[in-house]
């Protein structure tokens, strides 16, 4: 076979292979970005549902339904350790009587950091320096607070 033909075949084959790899990696990156977007939307819904549960001005049945829906939805896209953290917070929120707000805050911090890790953000967080407390959805009102300053709907369950 002529050398020019061999070179042309190799060049064409390499071009086709590179184009196929480019398409493959582009589609893979797009799927990963879509999954991150979907996760972010569902994590936001979960946080809103937790916050609404603490809002004493809203409908408690609707708050419970939204929370159940959010928890049942994130199980589809969340890593297992993140879902376990969400369930740990949920159980603590509903069961602890009297409420243990420090425990709840710590569980929420763990959950938030697992969410951030799952979203593959370009920076690292640290549990010991991360500070977060759930904030009710309707911040315009001043719902009853516990001694620790936390909103109290979850303690009325």
Each residue of 38-79: pLDDT tens digit?
Answer: 999 999 999 988 888 777 777 788 888 989 999 999 998 899
Number of domains in the chain: 1
CA distance 18 to 8: 15
CA distance 154 to 157: 6
Is 83 part of any domain? Answer: yes
CA distance 52 to 135: 9
Q: What is the pLDDT of residues 111-139, one digit of tens each?
A: 999 999 999 888 888 888 888 887 766 65
Is 146 part of any domain? Answer: yes
Burial of 93 (0-12, 13-18, 19+ CB in 10 A): buried
Is 6 part of any domain? Answer: no
Is 44 part of any domain? Answer: yes
More confident residue, 60 or 157: 60
Is 5 part of any domain? Answer: no
Query: What's the pTM?
Result: 0.72
* pLDDT for res 139: 54
Average pLDDT over residues 95-110: 85
Report the b/e string of 112-129 with b at 16+ CB within 10 A: bbbbbebeeeeeeeeeee
Is 2 part of any domain? Answer: no
Is 25 part of any domain? Answer: no
* Domain span at 80: 35-156
Is 1 part of any domain? Answer: no
Q: To the nearest whole percent, how much of the chain has pLDDT over 90?
A: 46
């Amino acid at each position: 076979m002529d050398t020019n033909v061999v070179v042309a075949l190799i060049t064409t084959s390499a071009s086709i292979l590179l184009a196929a790899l480019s398409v493959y990696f582009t589609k893979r990156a797009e799927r990963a970005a879509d999954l991150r977007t979907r996760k972010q939307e569902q994590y936001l819904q979960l946080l809103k549902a937790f916050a609404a549960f603490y809002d004493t001005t809203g409908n408690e049945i609707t708050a419970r339904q939204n929370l159940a829906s959010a928890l049942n939805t994130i199980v589809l896209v969340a890593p297992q350790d993140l879902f376990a953290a969400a369930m740990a917070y949920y159980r603590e929120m509903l069961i602890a009587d009297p409420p243990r707000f420090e425990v709840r805050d710590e569980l929420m911090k763990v959950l938030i950091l697992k969410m951030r890790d799952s979203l593959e953000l370009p920076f690292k967080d640290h549990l010991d320096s991360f500070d977060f407390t759930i904030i009710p959805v309707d911040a315009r009102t001043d719902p009853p607070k516990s001694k620790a300053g936390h909103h109290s709907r979850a303690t009325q369950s």
